[in-house]
Chain A
Amino acid sequence: MEELDTEPPVTVVPGADPARTQLCFEARGPSCVFVVRRDQDIYMETLRKLFNESHGIFVGLQRCEEERAVRARNAQLIQVSKNYRSVIRACMEDMHQAAISARDSALHSQYSIQVSILSAMELIWNLCEILFVEAAPAGPLLLRLLDWVQLHICDVDNMVREVLSSENPSKHKLFWNVVDIFVLQGRMDEARHLLSKEAIANPTSMNMYKILDDLMKKMPVPSVGNTQTLTEMELKWQHWHEECQRYLQDGTFASSSHMESICKILLGDENAILEKKELMTTWYHFLVTRLLYSHPTVKPMELRFYAQSSMDMFLGEESSPEPLDTILMAAFEFELHQVIKECSVALSNWWFVAHLTDLLDHCKLLQSHNLYFGSNMREFLLLEYASGLFSHHSLWQLGVDYFDHCPEYGRVYLELHIERIPLNTEQKALKVLRICEQRQMHEQVRSICKIMAMKALRNNRLGSALSWSIRAKDAAFATLISDRFLKDYCERGRFSDLDLIDNLGPSMLLSDRLTFLGKYREFHRLYGEKRFSEAARLLLMLMTAHIAPCSFWMTLLTDALPLLEQKEVRMLNNHADGLSTKGVQFLLVLLF
């Protein structure tokens, strides 16, 4: 993993003893070989779906036509980002199910850890989508952040459900907690709805309730459409803020501490908000609540100040930031490279940073950082990710597409990786070959075919060896195998793999010996079909064309003899180029 200046992780190999560093003269005792490999197995199996589906999104993004209009392009990229996130969520769901149904506790905790990692990834990605891909401007920014918080801070969902489903919600001991949560998350309608129940149950507080309800109803929020400008909104908000202030100072809510605290929250009182720390659970929830009630028209570039102070106020003295906090902070500070770097360190896989960086690169955000390795970083991460895929027996096929989209080193990485894939079966070899052929990787094609041909030859599967060497266009090897076929024929009197030899077609021309083999077999076929004149003509051609190996001349001559008995063949002898019986006999005498 991409590391900073921290100590690299140490893996302990049980059974291996580093302490005994002295040479042992009596080298006795059991010798041991340790085979160490990356512990990717479980994680690759469980994340398989994630890899498969994100691969589709990735390829789609590389290939899709870039929209001309900025708006349309932006919408396109946001959609891609959302697709990635939904894939993460789907994977999280699967992992969650797996955790529940896991039989042993070790497996259960492994799955649970994966769920929380995926959850963190989605949280980070979502924030990056808001800040970088969508680049939400002041106004919509706050609305997005509110959605973000609501979607991801789920710790309170149970509490909410419990209260809402009880017979008498306002009497529930957690009633005010839930109201507070709604207020903290800007869910005004839901808060008001619950409060109305309290008002009915408690008529004495009707007056207070009506005022508070009204304030909550009137609270100005950034609009989704373009119905008001920021300035208009700010003005309205200022008015409303002052109104809240007046009611508080008048002591309107003095008799209900709960309602008073809500009013304080509405006024953006940091202490009042911080009192509800347990309900917010995280500093970034606190941040968004603060923004909602003190600066709803916050600009993206102003976020960093609020973020840092929010984290400090929330964490206080007791706790220090965790890796997730550091990543989110880097995002709020718009330090893209820092986000990527921190993610690389914190996450044990390249999947996240590779895909996120690629997306950000398509948003043209990496170049704007003016660092020379902008696009190289994208490629670096994609190469790392894809290389990891190649260690898996089937996921390597996804890796191919990733390499295809790495302009500088993708091709050579693919060449190096693809020739190392174990070719356990013919099917796999053919699959690998197809990929190489599509990309004109001629050397890899040749090499793979040669390896397969060699393997077949060693196992005496001559037919297979021959077809592989034809595919490799390896004339020398084809010659060698043809010789073996011919030798086989001499020893056993018949050919093996007739189908193959009969259907060689133009590939017969790869080597002289192969041509001879093909033609010789044709001769036998013609003879078998009693087409003697054609057979004789072919035999003649084979003898005169000088492609027959020396060792075979005897055989050819011997083959000629019975032909000469045939009536049709004798007719041939009348031709000038015919082979007379006398001629053959003379040759035979010479040879003996």
Chain B
Amino acid sequence: MFVARSIAADHRDLIHDVSFDFHGRRMATCSSDQSVKVWDKSENGDWHCTASWKTHSGSVWRVTWAHPEFGQVLASCSFDRTAAVWEEIVGESNDKLRGQSHWVKRTTLVDSRTSVTDVKFAPKHMGLMLATCSADGVVRIYEAPDVMNLSQWSLQHEISCKLSCSCISWNPSSSRAHSPMIAVGSDDNSPNILAKVQIYEYNENTRKYAKAEALMTVTDPVHDIAFAPNLGRSFHILAVATKDVRIFTLKPLRKELTSSGGLTKFEIHIVAQFDNHNSQVWRVSWNITGTVLASSGDDGCVRLWKANYMDNWKCTGILKGNGSPVNGSSQQGIFNTSLGSANASLQNSLNGSSASRKQS
């Protein structure tokens, strides 16, 4: 049913993230070796590394692509307390012949005082905007007002989440009925029963992001979080990677017309909870229609979840390593699978790397 191909990534250290571009033909990897690599898929389906460069002075935790409407743009974030935006420069014809391309740094975002743990671009209808989150619990939202000038970014919002943040996800819905929304996950390990998933919503009146919801039932450290693409539904679907896989629906209720302005209240339901990984779940990722969810865990497996027409979620596939060495040498570490699914055939990429961020 699935066929796997391995690519020798040549990172000199653990790979922490893999991200596909919008069309699924380019891939970016980032590593503790402080570099980012960009891979391009050729006509015959082979992946070639077309760029490799040092991006930070610490482990690079995440890498992500902007929408192709903005050109070929990447953002990365690192233990070195910064996030950066990169743009591909169309090289000399020599470079092109050698199959190499050149990426330049457009900006460094230095506002964080601790490790920046995630960076994500906002949905394209919001313009060229991105959010970062840090270990000190602050989510920052930046905007580039002139999309043709990637060196000018301004810090628009600073959201204090009070708990160390590990991941963020923008709600992709472009419906006018939905205000911009961002979900934040926390991997705070201290013994408490505070909600580890918070939902922030933009308030048109105050022009600020305010906390709309906290998922009280998620009290274990959260490693990844992902809103599903919206199919014109009135409600939202959110997947959470924590000690198990959880899928929530958030149904907006009538907007409260209080003095603080229209903050939406949500009816929250958990529609699925799966502990099949039997261990920490590190990543969750949706396919483009939001009908299949992929999750990866410390059991070294990737699982695929799908709802049938009765809306019952079930596991429809498992990808598992067979333990055999690659190229005669043994695999180190476990899987931190980063699942970027850019097209209907659900391309997943698994990489061998350490799952924990505690080590830098």
With both chains docked as a complex, state the minimum distance between the C-beta of B79 and any C-beta of chain A, in angstroms: 14
Q: Which residue of A lies closest to B290 (CB)?
A: A416
Residues of B within 8 A of A36 (CB): 2-5, 302, 319, 347-350
Q: How far is the CA of A93 from the CA of B28 in the complex (A)?
A: 44
Q: How far is the CA of A427 from the CA of B230 in the complex (A)?
A: 30
A16 touches B300 (CB 8 A): yes
A545 interface hit (Cβ, 8 Å) = no
Q: How far is the CA of A29 from the CA of B110 in the complex (A)?
A: 32
With both chains docked as a complex, state the minimum distance between the C-beta of A451 and any C-beta of chain B, in angstroms: 5
B289 touches A387 (CB 8 A): yes
Q: How far is the CA of A512 from the CA of B172 in the complex (A)?
A: 33
A376 interface hit (Cβ, 8 Å) = yes
**Given known A-B contacts A10-B318, A11-B319, A32-B9, A27 and B350 have beta carbons under 8 A apart:** no
Residues of B within 8 A of A71 (CB): none
Residues of A within 8 A of B152 (CB): none
B70 interface hit (Cβ, 8 Å) = yes
A12 interface hit (Cβ, 8 Å) = yes
B68 touches A34 (CB 8 A): no
Q: How far is the CA of A439 from the CA of B356 in the complex (A)?
A: 48
* Stretch from A151-159, A285-293, A454-462, A564-572 that touches the partner: A454-462
Q: Mark B325-360, 1 if CB is under 8 A from A, else 0.
A: 111011111110000001111111111111110010
B342 touches A420 (CB 8 A): yes
A29 touches B332 (CB 8 A): yes
Counting chain A residues whose Cβ lies within 8 A of the other chain, the interface size class is: 35 or more
B317 interface hit (Cβ, 8 Å) = yes
B322 touches A33 (CB 8 A): no
With both chains docked as a complex, state the minimum distance between the C-beta of A441 and any C-beta of chain B, in angstroms: 13
B325 touches A11 (CB 8 A): no
With both chains docked as a complex, state the minimum distance between the C-beta of A194 and any C-beta of chain B, in angstroms: 49
Q: Mark A27-39, 1 if CB is under 8 A from B, else 0.
A: 1111111111111
A348 touches B68 (CB 8 A): no
Q: How far is the CA of A23 from the CA of B302 in the complex (A)?
A: 18
Residues of B within 8 A of A506 (CB): none
B309 touches A412 (CB 8 A): no
B345 CB contact (under 8 Å) in A40, A373, A413, A454: A40
**Given known A-B contacts A13-B321, A23-B356, A451-B69, A420 and B332 have beta carbons under 8 A apart:** no
* Stretch from A1-9, A119-127, A168-176, A525-533 that touches the partner: A1-9
A347 interface hit (Cβ, 8 Å) = no
A31 touches B4 (CB 8 A): no
Q: How far is the CA of A492 from the CA of B303 in the complex (A)?
A: 58
B326 touches A15 (CB 8 A): yes
A391 touches B343 (CB 8 A): yes
Q: How far is the CA of A41 from the CA of B45 in the complex (A)?
A: 11
A473 interface hit (Cβ, 8 Å) = no
B3 touches A18 (CB 8 A): no
A35 touches B347 (CB 8 A): yes
Q: How far is the CA of A269 from the CA of B1 in the complex (A)?
A: 47
B145 interface hit (Cβ, 8 Å) = no
A24 interface hit (Cβ, 8 Å) = yes
B69 touches A454 (CB 8 A): yes
B321 CB contact (under 8 Å) in A9, A17, A41: A17
Q: Which residue of B lies closest to A393 (CB)?
A: B43
A15 touches B321 (CB 8 A): yes
B323 CB contact (under 8 Å) in A17, A28, A447: A17
Residues of B within 8 A of A480 (CB): 148
A552 interface hit (Cβ, 8 Å) = no
With both chains docked as a complex, state the minimum distance between the C-beta of A475 and any C-beta of chain B, in angstroms: 14
A11 touches B2 (CB 8 A): yes
A220 interface hit (Cβ, 8 Å) = no
With both chains docked as a complex, state the minimum distance between the C-beta of A466 and any C-beta of chain B, in angstroms: 15
For chain A, residues 278 to 306, give those with C-beta under 8 angstroms from any C-beta of chain B: none
With both chains docked as a complex, state the minimum distance between the C-beta of B136 and any C-beta of chain A, in angstroms: 24
A12 touches B349 (CB 8 A): no
B68 touches A12 (CB 8 A): no
A21, A30, A373, A376: most-surrounded residue (chain B CB, <10 A): A30
A39 touches B8 (CB 8 A): no
Q: List 22 A-B contacts (CB under 8 A).
A: A11-B317, A13-B320, A14-B6, A14-B321, A15-B324, A16-B4, A16-B6, A16-B320, A16-B335, A18-B299, A27-B14, A27-B332, A34-B5, A34-B350, A35-B4, A35-B47, A36-B2, A36-B349, A37-B346, A380-B309, A416-B229, A421-B23
Given contacts A16-B320, A39-B2, 12 further A-B contacts (CB under 8 A): A3-B314, A8-B314, A11-B318, A15-B326, A20-B331, A35-B5, A36-B350, A37-B345, A420-B343, A421-B23, A451-B68, A454-B70
